[in-house]
Amino acid sequence: DIQMTQSPSSLSASVGDRVTITCRASQGISTYVNWYQQKPGKAPNFLIFAASSLQSGVPSRFSGSGSGADFTLTISSLQPEDIATYYCQQSYTTPYTFGQGTKLEI
C-alpha cells in the first residue's frame, strides 16, 4: 500500500500568513494527489485534484504543487474561514490512502 505522510500534524498561524502543508508518498505517484478540507463536524470538501488543479469555486489563495512523491498545499494569505483539517489523498492505485491530516489553527 502507498503511505501518505503529511507534515506538520498541526500548525498555528495568523490571519494573512502564507501557510504550506507537505505530503510525501511512499513511492512515486506522478500527480495523482488530491487535497481536501474538513471543518469540525462537517464532511470533507474537495479542494485540489491532480496535485495542482483547483476545483471550481475554491478560492484562488489555495494552490497545490508537486509530482512524483512530494506535494504541497499552500494558502497564500490565511483567512479565518480556513481553520480546518487538511488531508492529502492518492488516487494512483487502490487502496486510495489519505494522509493523517494537518490541523490548522489560528
Partner 1 sequence: EVQLVESGGGLVKPGGSLRLSCAASGFTFSIYSMTWVRQAPGKGLEWVSFISISGSDIYYADSVKGRFTMSRDNAKNSVYLQMNSLRAEDTAVYYCASSGNYGGNNPFDNWGQGTLVTVSS
Note the residues at the interface with partner 1 (CB under 8 A): 1, 31-32, 34, 36, 38, 43-46, 49-50, 53, 55, 85, 87, 89, 91, 94-101
Asked if 2 and 23 touch (Cβ cutoff 8 Å), the reply is: no
Choice between 32 and 82, CB closer to partner 1 = 32
Choice between 32 and 62, CB closer to partner 1 = 32
What is d(CA 80, CA 60) in angstroms, rounded to the nearest whole number?
Answer: 15
Report whether the peptide linkage leading into residue 95 is cis, meaning its omega lies within 30 degrees of zero: yes
Instruction: State in angstroms the smallest separation of the CB of 5 from partner 1.
Output: 12
Instruction: State in angstroms the smallest separation of the CB of 26 from partner 1.
Output: 15
Choice between 83 and 96, CB closer to partner 1 = 96
Choice between 38 and 72, CB closer to partner 1 = 38
Q: Who contacts 43 (Cβ-Cβ below 8 Å, separation ≥6)?
A: none
Instruction: State in angstroms the smallest separation of the CB of 18 from partner 1.
Output: 25
What is d(CA 27, CA 14) in angstroms, rounded to the nearest whole number?
Answer: 34
Helix (H, G, I), strand (E, B) or coil at 82: helix
